[in-house]
């Protein structure tokens, strides 16, 4: 028993949850000394989406931010959120990148590394845990909390015990969706305390309003550290306010010892910033609270609204909400957090829109079933797995075992820009965005870059990756910028819809490229059938030929709004060309929708007599893509 320690999340999760992660380093500076003096156990200031947003939207160097914060925060421990093998990105990175990233972050001043894996597959934490231990810093792996028939208290205790055996200095219960109810929190903390000798920390989100009670019950059960945010950045989808918790525990055996007047001083700074920048307060909407009904996080629900609206199917939201738990069950009950929330969500949307379950499965869903994200809590339903990947083998190894080292390649590819290790890491994580950022940093224009490419000063690989950026026509696709902590915030959705209505669509396209590039790479890497196709560049022939349309000709139409891609990757041959004979089940093209790659397959045998859209062209629901002369 004794004093409860508090971690402040204002500079990471707080603004990530409420302000689309848009706080700049300058916004933070004036309040750093006050935060350092307030008596916090630690300050979560880095990782999660902050890294990505720094280079993508704020044109700030995340490493520079960390350095500045470390200079100002002298007494309090600094903490970051690490997505296990995905670091601060959205896909698994090679081990050498993970090791170097952790080493650099420690060097820049991170004291506590909070690491989680979306599936609680602890193999995905092995490399980063070893790397953290090697730096001598505090390793805090997470037990990701969710509710399902397999997620019993015992399941969480077992996971925590394995994490302790990996060297955990403390364990965090990560309740990213605000699902942990007060009495469940008491039971879980009590069980963890009874089985473990390391400190237990609780991270929850306010969302439906349970969080204050959930924290208090955890305190009663013996939790050691809890997460809160300064009041202007609390409530809603963020953490509960520190002021309330400090007051609630005053005069009890758990008194935090923190002074309210100091905390209000900090809150005043953030409140002024909030008003000045027009950031929103944390509020709870009915749709947020529906998490109690469907266990679907509120941010995710609004995300579906936006997606369904785009597909002209907004009225089908209830069907999708009912389908999500079914898909989650089929997929082995993964917790809904990035990237599993997107994977489960998109499949549920497709199942409803297509009118047949698992008729259309994005590459990510296939990869999930193949085991490329790790092991689900229980195996994927066998019948469904067969429907999605046929007789393909599910990988049994840790997914990152299949990745080639990436650091040296990153170093070479940015040699033109920088020889800093930090920059190589930034590039290894977000190649396209990093290049744009380096370009900005050096004050160079886009034209300069293309001239450099033309002069062949860049490596071949890089040129290949550059080209689609320049050639790609604007696509009308909502960017599902992930909040990393599980779902997209309502504010982000609004913002993105606004962006869509404006003219800077080309810019949006550029911002999406990393994700797309990585997805396309992963699709292409796993497309073994593609090897035999002829080389690309056959578009012109299509204009010269006049399609012969007969009664036997069938149209292949777009089953959704999206972007049409003729090939699995920019430098790969197209799936099909004019005149090709195709068989039922053969992939014709990819439709990228909602940030996922959906393979469109032929439904009958025949010959391609016309291709009606250009590569990378946005297509509408029902738009004709191919004409096929049936056999």
Q: How far is the CB of 341 from Co ion (least distance, A)?
A: 13
Binding mask 477-516 for Co ion (x = CB under 5 A): --------x-------------------------------
Binding mask 430-469 for Co ion (x = CB under 5 A): ----------------------------------------
The torsion angles phi and psi of 261, rounded to 5 degrees, stand at: -65, -35
CA–CA separation, 237 and 13 (whole Å): 10
Please say whether the beta carbons of 619 and 591 come within 8 A. yes
Q: How far is the CB of 203 from Co ion (least distance, A)?
A: 6
Q: Which of residues 9-28 bind Co ion (CB under 5 A)?
A: 13
Coil vs helix vs strand at 80? strand
The residue whose Cβ lies closest to Co ion is 485
* Cβ proximity to Co ion, 13 vs 629, nearer residue: 13
Relative to beta strand 581-582, strand 606-611 is: antiparallel
Q: Does 44 bind Co ion (CB under 5 A)?
A: no
In total, the chain counts a number of residues equal to 631
* Cβ proximity to Co ion, 176 vs 327, nearer residue: 176
Coil vs helix vs strand at 580? coil
Q: Which of residues 598-617 bind Co ion (CB under 5 A)?
A: none
* Cβ proximity to Co ion, 13 vs 126, nearer residue: 13
* Cβ proximity to Co ion, 206 vs 565, nearer residue: 206
Report which of 247, 175, 246 is spatially closest to residue 211, judged by C-alpha positions.
Answer: 175
Q: How far is the CB of 48 from Co ion (least distance, A)?
A: 8
What tokens does 88 get? 């601060």
Instruction: Name every residue whose Cβ is closer than 8 Å to that of residue 514 and which is 6 or more positions away in sequence.
Output: 430, 431, 432, 433
* Cβ proximity to Co ion, 224 vs 485, nearer residue: 485
* Cβ proximity to Co ion, 21 vs 432, nearer residue: 21
CA–CA separation, 386 and 361 (whole Å): 12
Q: By rule CB under 5 A, what count of residues binds Co ion?
A: 2
Q: How far is the CB of 226 from Co ion (least distance, A)?
A: 13
Catalogue the long-range contacts made by 382-388 (C-beta closer than 8 Å, 24 or more residues apart). Answer: 384/330, 384/331, 384/358, 387/358, 388/358, 388/361
Q: How far is the CB of 23 from Co ion (least distance, A)?
A: 15
**Can you give the C-alpha Rg of the chain in angstroms?**
25
Alpha helix ranges (H) inside 29-125? 32-37, 50-53, 62-72, 95-107
Q: How far is the CB of 280 from Co ion (least distance, A)?
A: 17
Q: Which stretch binds Co ion (CB under 5 A): 5-13, 57-65, 210-218, 268-276?
A: 5-13
CA–CA separation, 201 and 219 (whole Å): 10
* Cβ proximity to Co ion, 342 vs 527, nearer residue: 342
Relative to beta strand 77-82, strand 617-619 is: unpaired
Q: How far is the CB of 176 from Co ion (least distance, A)?
A: 5
Contacting residues toward Co ion, per CB under 5 A = 13, 485
């Amino acid at each position: 028993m004794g004093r409860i320690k508090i971690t402040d999340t204002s500079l990471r999760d707080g603004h990530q949850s409420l302000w689309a992660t848009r706080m700049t380093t300058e916004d933070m500076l004036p309040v750093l000394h006050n935060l350092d003096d307030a008596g916090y156990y630690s300050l979560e200031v880095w990782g999660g989406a902050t890294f990505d947003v720094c280079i993508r939207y704020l044109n700030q160097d995340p490493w520079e931010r960390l350095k500045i914060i470390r200079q100002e925060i002298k007494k309090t421990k600094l903490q970051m959120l690490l997505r296990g093998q995905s670091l601060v990105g959205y896909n698994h990175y090679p081990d050498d990148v993970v090791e170097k990233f952790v080493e650099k972050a420690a060097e820049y001043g991170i004291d506590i590394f909070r690491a989680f894996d979306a599936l609680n597959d602890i193999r995905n934490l092995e490399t980063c845990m070893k790397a953290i231990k090697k730096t001598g810093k505090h390793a805090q792996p997470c037990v990701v909390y969710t509710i399902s028939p397999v997620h019993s208290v015992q399941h969480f205790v077992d996971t925590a015990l394995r994490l302790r055996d990996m060297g955990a200095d403390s364990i965090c219960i990560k309740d990213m969706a605000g699902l942990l109810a007060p009495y469940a929190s008491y039971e879980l903390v009590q069980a963890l305390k009874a089985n473990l000798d390391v400190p237990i920390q609780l991270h929850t989100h306010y969302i439906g309003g349970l969080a204050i009670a959930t924290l208090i019950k955890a305190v009663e059960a013996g939790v050691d550290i809890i997460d809160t945010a300064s009041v202007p950045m609390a409530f809603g989808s963020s953490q509960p306010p520190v002021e309330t918790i400090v007051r609630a525990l005053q005069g009890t055996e758990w008194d935090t010892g923190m002074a309210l007047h100091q905390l209000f001083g900090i809150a005043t700074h953030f409140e002024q910033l909030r008003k000045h920048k027009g950031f929103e307060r944390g509020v709870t909407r009915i749709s947020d609270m529906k998490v109690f009904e469907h266990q679907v996080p509120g941010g995710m629900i609004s995300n579906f609204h936006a997606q369904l609206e785009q597909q002209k199917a907004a009225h089908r939201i209830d069907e999708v909400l009912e389908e999500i738990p079914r898909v989650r069950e089929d997929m082995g009950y993964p917790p809904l957090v990035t990237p599993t929330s997107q994977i489960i969500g998109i499949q549920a949307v497709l199942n409803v829109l297509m009118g047949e379950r698992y008729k259309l499965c994005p590459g990510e869903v296939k990869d999930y079933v193949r085991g490329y994200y790790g092991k689900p809590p229980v195996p994927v339903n066998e019948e469904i797995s067969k429907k999605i990947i046929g007789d393909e083998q599910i990988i049994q190894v840790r997914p990152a075992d299949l990745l080639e080292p990436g650091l040296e390649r990153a170093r070479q590819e940015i040699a033109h820009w920088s020889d800093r290790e930090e920059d190589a890491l930034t590039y290894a994580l977000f190649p396209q965005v990093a290049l744009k950022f380096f370009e900005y940093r050096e004050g160079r224009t886009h034209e300069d870059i293309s001239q450099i490419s033309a002069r062949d000063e860049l490596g071949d690989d890089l040129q290949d990756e550059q080209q689609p950026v320049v050639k790609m026509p604007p696509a009308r696709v909502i960017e599902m910028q992930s909040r990393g902590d599980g779902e997209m915030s309502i504010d982000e959705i609004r913002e993105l819809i606004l962006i869509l209505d404006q003219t800077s669509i080309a810019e949006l396209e550029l911002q999406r490229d990393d994700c797309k590039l990585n997805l396309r790479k992963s699709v292409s890497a796993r497309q073994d059938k593609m090897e035999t196709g002829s080389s690309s560049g056959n578009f012109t022939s299509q204009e010269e030929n006049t399609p012969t349309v007969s009664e036997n000709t069938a149209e292949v139409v777009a089953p959704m709004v999206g972007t049409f891609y003729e090939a699995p990757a920019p430098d790969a041959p197209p799936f099909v060309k004019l005149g090709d004979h195709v068989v039922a089940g053969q992939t014709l093209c990819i439709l990228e929708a909602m940030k996922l790659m959906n393979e469109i397959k032929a439904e009958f045998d025949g010959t391609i007599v016309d291709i009606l859209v250009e590569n990378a062209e946005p297509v509408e629901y029902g738009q004709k893509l191919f004409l096929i002369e049936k056999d």
